Amino acid sequence: MTGDAIRMDGKVAIVTGGAGGIGAATARLITARGAQVVIADIMAERAQALAAELSGALAIALDLEQESSVEAMIAQTVAHFGRLDVLHNNAALLGPDIAQADGDVEHMATALWDRTYAVNVRGTMIACRAASPHLVKTHGNIVNTVSNLALQGHLIQAAYSSSKAAVIQMTRAIAASHGKQGVRCNAVAPGMTMTPALREAFPSALRQVVEDETLRDQLGDPQDIAEAVAFLASDAARNITGQVLVCDGGGASHVPGISGFRSFFAGEH
């Protein structure tokens, strides 16, 4: 391994949910580091617009609820570029309306639960399954976007958080089953990240609650998560597999109520 191991020259990477937020930031970053990128998204026009900005990028329309769409994404990538080195499963069911409806289990709609798992878990599994033979050939890797909510209990987002916990276990399973074939699989767990979608979905008062529990002086942004993804996807992380890299500004690392303790010891009680 050389000092340029963070570079991705000659590698082909798929970024699902690549048209906006964390996905777009990741697509831009790994392109800058030399990769040829597939931007796969259900928002096809936005994917095409981003691909037009990035040298050598390809846009593919993707619907994770449709098995044929996921399999076609992998097939089109390999047909176009001749190889696949990185699969970044970043897409998830998480729009403002979905976030508002995804509360606790007592009030959970079965249809929302099923759709969340269909997109976040089943769709991710199909992508990994279809990509695996190609990743074995290139000794490539998978990076799954999960969430710090998959590691903690919360009052809301029971469907989303539990689906991401399932993806964490899938990450470990793939790392175990395919490691000796040269395939790594890791996950990145963001906390609340200041994407445009988040600004729509969460009131500022709730964002402030999360920011108060963050150990940094601000919430993370998409570039912060993209840097973590790009590292895990690169040869610089060749000895890392089956791991969850938590990128939440320290929010999941401390005892509950730290902001209240901070106020108490500052004499604000």
Q: What is the pLDDT of residues 109-146, one digit of tens each?
A: 999 999 999 999 999 999 999 999 999 999 999 999 99
The 8-class DSSP code of residue 122 comes to I
pLDDT of residue 101 exceeding 70, the answer is yes
Please provide the average confidence, as pLDDT, over all residues in the chain: 93
CATH superfamily of 12-265: NAD(P)-binding Rossmann-like Domain (3.40.50.720)
pLDDT of residue 268: 59
| In contact, 79 and 87? CB cutoff 8 Å | no
Q: What is the pLDDT of residues 197-256, one digit of tens each?
A: 777 767 788 788 888 888 998 889 999 999 999 999 999 999 999 999 999 999 989 878
User: What per-residue string of b and e applies to 128-151 under the rule 16 or more CB within 10 Å gives b?
Assistant: bebbbebbeebebbbbbbbbbbbb
- Phi/psi for 211 (5° steps) reads -65, -35
Q: What is the pLDDT of residues 40-79, one digit of tens each?
A: 999 999 999 999 999 999 999 999 999 999 999 999 999 9
- CA 218, 220, 223: angle at the middle one, nearest 5? 135
H helices of 39-109, in order, are 44-53, 67-81, 96-101
Instruction: Indicate the pTM of the whole model.
Output: 0.93
| CA-CA-CA-CA torsion sign (100, 105, 110, 115) | positive
Percent with pLDDT over 90 in the chain: 78
3-class SS at 245? strand
Residues that are catalytic: 160
- What are the sequence ranges of the domains in the chain? 12-265
